[in-house]
């Protein structure tokens, strides 16, 4: 088995390698002067089961090209099987036609990954579960719920915790964690007049006197979380925290979160953190390296991966 990584999240790749007690494969992934991606693998991978760990986060197009070119290099080096491990699958929010004459970019990216020569995909908390069907190869969608549940139990008194979905679309995700810890569920009724702008309309559920924990898959601009936190506090919540899988945190989101009424934002390390995220007092990270590492180990040994979701 070989573990290869590009430049998108080397810290996570190293943590996964440490969990597997396996060194990262020696390879060069760099840019030419005109920013073309250049890849060279310095180890023999003929007949090997190779795993490429690469989040297609910002800069999404650069990291996606690294993944595709790494795949081509390994395929031409006679790797036996190539598995793309995508802790964060970019373009996942473009999973349908949102208006006339718009693309379904998530499907296009799935086609690119498949045609490049990937034999299997492992990813984490897809924005929409049906994206698994965009791939014509086996795809395992892992969930961060077990990791978040353990952290919530370690840091909160479950007797007065209420799990909150920040929008209707995330109810199933929030309900899964609420059931795991035996908490009640509330929903924020949100309207989005345009992309990147959200407006809280109503709170469904009695949050008075509760420690509210919002659960979601992606935080981008942070506007939804900030607005929802203010609405929950106005409705009588004692404090508001949030657990999010993918901390995209673009366009000043880290500063927005730091200045908000959120007690804490907990994100995983599926996306490499920026300096602003590191210095934000109310943003904390939890590691998914053991989850990803175990999924890789079980895939390599042809064991069940679905049991990781329990």
Cβ–Cβ under 8 Å, residues 99 and 57 = no
User: Quick one: which of 49, 9, 48, 44 has its CA closest to 29?
Assistant: 9
Tokens describing residue 101: 């004459």
Please list the residues that pair with 28 across neighbouring strands. 40
Q: Which position among 35, 97, 190, 234 bears the catalytic label?
A: 190
Tokens describing residue 174: 């929030």
User: Quick one: which of 43, 180, 56 has its CA closest to 106?
Assistant: 56
**Per residue in 47-79, is it b (16+ CB within 10 Å) or e — as a string?**
ebbbbbbbbbbbebebbbbbbbbbbebbbeeeb
* 190 is a catalytic site residue: yes
Cβ–Cβ under 8 Å, residues 75 and 4 = no
Catalytic residues: 190
């Amino acid at each position: 088995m070989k573990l290869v990584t590009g430049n998108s999240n080397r810290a996570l790749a190293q943590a996964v390698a440490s969990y597997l007690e396996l060194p990262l494969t020696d390879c060069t992934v760099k840019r030419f002067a005109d920013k073309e991606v250049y890849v060279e693998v310095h180890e023999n991978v003929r007949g090997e089961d190779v795993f490429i760990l690469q989040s297609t986060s910002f800069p999404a197009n650069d990291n996606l090209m690294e993944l595709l070119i790494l795949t081509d290099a390994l395929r031409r080096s006679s790797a036996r099987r190539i598995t793309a491990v995508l802790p964060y699958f970019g373009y996942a929010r473009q999973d349908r036609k949102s208006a006339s004459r718009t693309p379904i970019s998530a499907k296009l990216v799935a086609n690119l990954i498949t045609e490049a020569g990937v034999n299997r995909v492992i990813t984490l908390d897809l924005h929409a579960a049906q994206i698994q069907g965009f791939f014509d190869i086996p795809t395992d969608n892992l969930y961060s719920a077990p990791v978040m549940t353990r952290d919530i139990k370690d840091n909160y008194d479950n007797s007065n915790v209420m799990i909150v979905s920040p929008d209707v679309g995330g109810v199933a995700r929030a309900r899964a964690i609420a059931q795991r810890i035996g908490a009640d569920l509330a929903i924020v009724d949100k309207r989005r007049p345009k992309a990147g702008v959200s407006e809280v309309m109503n709170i469904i559920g009695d949050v008075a006197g509760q420690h509210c924990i919002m659960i979601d898959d992606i935080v981008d601009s942070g506007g939804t979380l900030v607005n929802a936190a203010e609405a929950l506090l106005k409705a009588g919540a004692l404090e508001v925290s949030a657990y999010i899988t993918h901390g995209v945190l673009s366009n000043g989101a880290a500063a927005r979160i730091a200045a908000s009424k959120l007690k804490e934002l907990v994100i995983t390390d599926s996306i490499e953190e920026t300096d602003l995220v590191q210095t934000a007092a109310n943003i904390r990270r939890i590691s998914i390296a053991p989850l990803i590492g175990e999924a890789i180990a079980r895939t390599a040994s042809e064991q069940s991966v679905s049991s990781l979701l329990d």
